[in-house]
A and B are shown apart, each in its own frame.
Chain A
Amino acid sequence: MRNTQRAEKIAFFFLFLATLLIVVPVGLIFVIIIQKGLPAINWQFISDIPRQGMRAGGIYPAIVGTVYLVIGAIIFALPIGLMAAIYLSEYAKDNLLTRVIKLAIVNLAGVPSVVYGLFGLALFVIFFKFGASILSGALTLGIMILPIIITSSREALESVPYSFREVSFSLGASKWQTIRHIVLPNAIPGILTGTILGLGRAAGETAPILFTVAAFYLPQLPHSLFDQAMALPYHLYVISTQVPNVDEKIRYGTALVLLVMVLFMNLVAIVIRYQFRKKKKW
């Protein structure tokens, strides 16, 4: 008896150790970036263009570029993703087609990000002749975040109780009216969560924008959808590997701004989900 209890203690200790091995390094990553990045952050860093070959000045064009890309991606992905989710949760029958659609979504989520970059280059930049531009990059990122939006919107739609739909049908509403006025409003927090997670993913990805939009050094703001633009993740890659003698402070500061942008979106998503679960009426 004593042996089994000792075995349990030892086993639980190792499980705890495994958890620590994940939690502690993650904590360290945050501490290091915040500690070393914070001194670089000031108004000039956020609002100025890069100067002296990115060794001084700010990161404003990179922030703006990322914001444009993310907005473009979501404008493309949200309508398609949401409608795909409505199809899967409200219309799809349990048949081969549905199975294939689900498999396609799983695969779309698993395609390596750099392969999205190749695809964007071949289709948007070269085939459609959009060139390396915000449009090409946003469309590439949009396809990449599609599975995130479909999966989370579908979960949100499916979590609306079936009885809600039955009541609506029994009052004479059509299927689309039911979806539009009953199911969608109740699923909005979940859809919002998925959308924000998609935004965060799009903001942080580098490989898909490498050949579709990213400009190495472009100290001005883009004027149209067909302009190249700087982007925050690519800028961090460039100043940490391609440009020698960049002040450590600028690198850490850029990493911090990117991290804060992405984590802020994720935190908002987590909070919305948490609030929603607390308030849920069913």
Chain B
Amino acid sequence: MRKIKEFIIEKLILICGLASIFFVILIFLFLLKEGLALFKTVNPAKFIFGKNWYPISEPGQFGILPLILGSLLVTLGAAIISIPIGVGCAVYIAEVAPLKIKEILKAGIELLAAIPSVVLGFIGMVTLVPWVKNIFNLPTGLTALSGSIMLAFMAMPTIVSIAEDALYSVPKTYKEGALALGATHWQTIYRVMLPAASSGILAAVMLGIGRVIGETMAVMMITGNAALIPHSILQPVRTLTATIAAEMGEAVVGSEHYFALFAVGIVLFVLSFMINVTADLFLHKDKR
């Protein structure tokens, strides 16, 4: 009797172990099921490279190039801000900060990661957006720049904690060897620790960027949502994620617009899949 019970439990455990594979496939299948229907009427090349996103005009135009460029611009801005600051902070926490401050900083970073994106978006709306408007003397502060700054704060916790882990897992002997040869602490960090942890830091940066590309609410609230090809970082833009979030509520189930939003979802899913697999390869390489 007990044997049968254990057999059932162990099979159940195996099934749950496979659940994550099942869900990833399920997500992809359902995106495909709804999204691919668009390409019966719309040419895939026109979808990716089309310059006009007018989903509710007659006939609808579904070119997502402005959305892709919007996402890229905001992400690039966020990366430029968050990578140096995030990696710098990780080095400070891992190597320079005294033990007590280190624990407090780590808890602080964790709290930053926990702030819901809609709260960050709200704070961005009431503080950052007016500042950007006044400093650059713009008609509106809802710009790609505001989005980049706010998103940088969402990427930083990821970058800091994974980069700090990577620095921490560099063997102690490397550091001791460098110090014994007479290198200063900074020379050791710069010439020994950082190169040794480089693949982990790269993974940290990629996962941070992955977080930024997928971020929805904060972006939707502060980038202005104009589906036009951006010419400067001080213009309103609209990202892939914000398009789905803003328009799905109004799209009629089964319409071209509805399918197009799922097709945008496929693009996002594939992007995040590629980023995560690559980052995982880097992390894995580090552990060998």
Contact = CB atoms under 8 A, between A and B. Distances in A.
Contact of A118 (B214, B265, B276): B265
Interface stretch (A2-10, A181-189, A220-228): A2-10
Contacts of A86: 13, 16
Nearest to A143: B23
Nearest to B128: A25
B14 A91 contact: yes
B88 to A, nearest CB: 3
A104 B125 CA distance: 35
Contact of B19 (A11, A80, A112, A258): A80
A57 interface: no
A22 B221 contact: no
A91 B13 contact: yes
Interface stretch (B115-123, B133-141, B173-181, B229-237): B115-123
Contacts of A48: none
B190 to A, nearest CB: 7
Interface stretch (A38-46, A67-75, A158-166, A232-240): A232-240
A35 B20 CA distance: 42
Contacts of B121: 237, 240
Interface stretch (B28-36, B43-51, B57-65): B28-36
A113 B216 contact: yes
B27 A115 contact: yes
A91 B12 CA distance: 12
Contact of A240 (B122, B244, B248): B122
Contacts of A205: 116-117
B186 interface: yes
Given A22-B85, A84-B17, A270 B110 contact: yes
B137 to A, nearest CB: 23
Contacts of A243: none
Interface residues of B, number: 89
B70 to A, nearest CB: 14
B125 A240 contact: yes
Interface in B93-133: 93, 96-97, 105, 107-112, 114-123, 125-127
Contacts of A108: 20, 23-24
B20 A211 contact: no
B80 interface: no
Interface in A219-270: 233-234, 236-237, 240-241, 248, 251, 255, 258-259, 262-263, 266, 270
A33 interface: yes
Contacts of A106: 276-277, 279-280
Contacts of B273: 107, 110
Contacts of A276: none
A38 B125 CA distance: 19
Main secondary structure of the interface of B (DSSP, over half): helix
B114 A117 contact: no
Interface string B185-214: 111011000000000000000010011011
A270 to B, nearest CB: 6
A259 B116 contact: yes
A244 to B, nearest CB: 14
A114 B92 contact: no
Interface residues of A, number: 85
B21 A233 contact: no
A174 to B, nearest CB: 6
Contact of A114 (B15, B112, B249, B268): B268
Given A112-B214, A112-B272, A211-B248, A259 B16 contact: no
B256 interface: no
Contact of B221 (A17, A18, A115, A240): A240
B123 A237 contact: no
A144 B184 CA distance: 46
Contact of A206 (B105, B117, B272): B117
Contact of B115 (A29, A105, A126, A241): A29
A29 B214 CA distance: 22
14 contacts: A8-B186, A12-B96, A23-B108, A83-B15, A104-B23, A106-B277, A112-B214, A112-B269, A114-B265, A114-B268, A115-B27, A206-B118, A207-B217, A263-B115
Given A26-B112, A91-B17, 7 more contacts: A18-B92, A26-B108, A83-B13, A83-B17, A112-B215, A174-B2, A174-B6
User: 10 nearest interchain CB pairs?
Assistant: A112-B214, A204-B116, A87-B17, A18-B88, A83-B16, A8-B186, A110-B276, A15-B92, A207-B216, A104-B20
